[in-house]
Amino acid sequence: MSDAPKEPADLTIALWATNLARPLNGIDAWAAAVDAQMAEACGQGADLFVMPEYASAQWLSFAPPDLSPDREVPWMADQAPKALDAVRPLAAKHGMALLAGTMPWRLDEASADAPAEVNRAWLILPDGTIHAQDKLCLTPGEKDPLAWQLTVGHTLTLVRWRGLTVAIAICLDVELPALSAKLAPHAPDLLLVPSMTEKRAGFHRVNSCARARAVELQAAVLTCGCIGDAATGKPREGNTGGAAVYLPSEPELGHVGIAAETGLMAESDDAGPLLIHRLPFAKMAGLRAGGAEVWPGAWNAAAVNIAWAGDKPDNQA
């Protein structure tokens, strides 16, 4: 891991809301596309490059044409080690950290009663250090044996980098206040949220909850979702996504909590938008240290009792 300053410094981030509908002819083509987008971001001074959940779905454009839905996750997991090896050097090449989206990853020791794959994000630092984060709460589609069935993760990993505490909450994970409450005492500076959402409702759930997490944690929260779906030649649901930067709703940070956003997109004419923004971590550190307007810190409800006014309903334990 690189030498980190004692105090967090401002950081320029690049969020690539990837257009999955662009066909590829192999992992090398995918890595070349990532390389090209990182080069553009590097030219604009980016320190961190973020890709969406299931960025790997774009690989399905060169998958066997007879691949059934329940075989897509194992097939992507077969490609994943080569894909990770292909993009891992790009962090050092461009001098920026890379969150290479998520991809199905096969566990070394899998349970006989559960799928062998997890939905794993990879954070690659410029010095070559690499960190994994598995999705902690699965959607119904990720539990469906006829679709993308996966195994749930059990650990939330915190990463120290450039004086910042960084965490990753994959899509549905950011919608869970219980996870935010568990994370809060560790004072994260930056929460990365790669996502894949088919419907507008899902997009708004993820982004609304990410905005709430920024307030609760007094942290920067970045969402990055994918657009469209893999060009397989067969009907697919499609995805609506985009990218956004959320900050605490503080006067010193512009009041509204929305620092930058692409808005919702169901399709794109190119590789997908690249959102670049400078994050004011030095100012945010001062707010967390006591300068925030009303933020109570990592508050929990341990001292709060819940009481029924009158008789308790029969359906309550």
Per-residue pLDDT tens digits of the chain, which is 317 residues long: 444 456 788 999 999 999 999 999 999 999 999 999 999 999 999 999 999 999 999 999 999 999 999 999 999 999 999 999 999 999 999 999 999 999 999 998 767 778 899 999 999 999 999 999 999 999 999 999 999 999 999 999 999 999 999 999 999 999 999 999 999 999 999 999 999 999 999 999 999 999 999 999 999 999 999 999 999 988 898 999 999 999 999 999 999 999 999 999 999 999 999 999 999 999 999 999 999 999 999 998 889 999 999 888 888 87
Q: In what order do the strands lie in the sheet with 11-16?
A: 130-134, 117-124, 97-106, 48-50, 11-16, 274-279
The CA distance from 138 to 276, in Å, is: 29
- The one-character DSSP state at 59 is G
Q: How is domain 11-291 classified at the architecture level of CATH?
A: 4-Layer Sandwich (3.60)
Tokens 């987008």, residue?
Answer: 37
**H/E run at residue 216:** helix 200-217
Which residues lie below 8 Å from residue 1, measured CB to CB, with a gap of 6+?
A: 125, 127, 129, 160, 161
Task: Show me where the domains of the chain are located.
Answer: 11-291
Q: In 3-state terms, what secondary structure has residue 129?
A: coil
pTM score: 0.95
Instruction: Give the bridge partners for 165, in sequence order.
Output: 160
Query: How many other C-beta atoms lie within 10 A of the C-beta of residue 178?
Result: 8
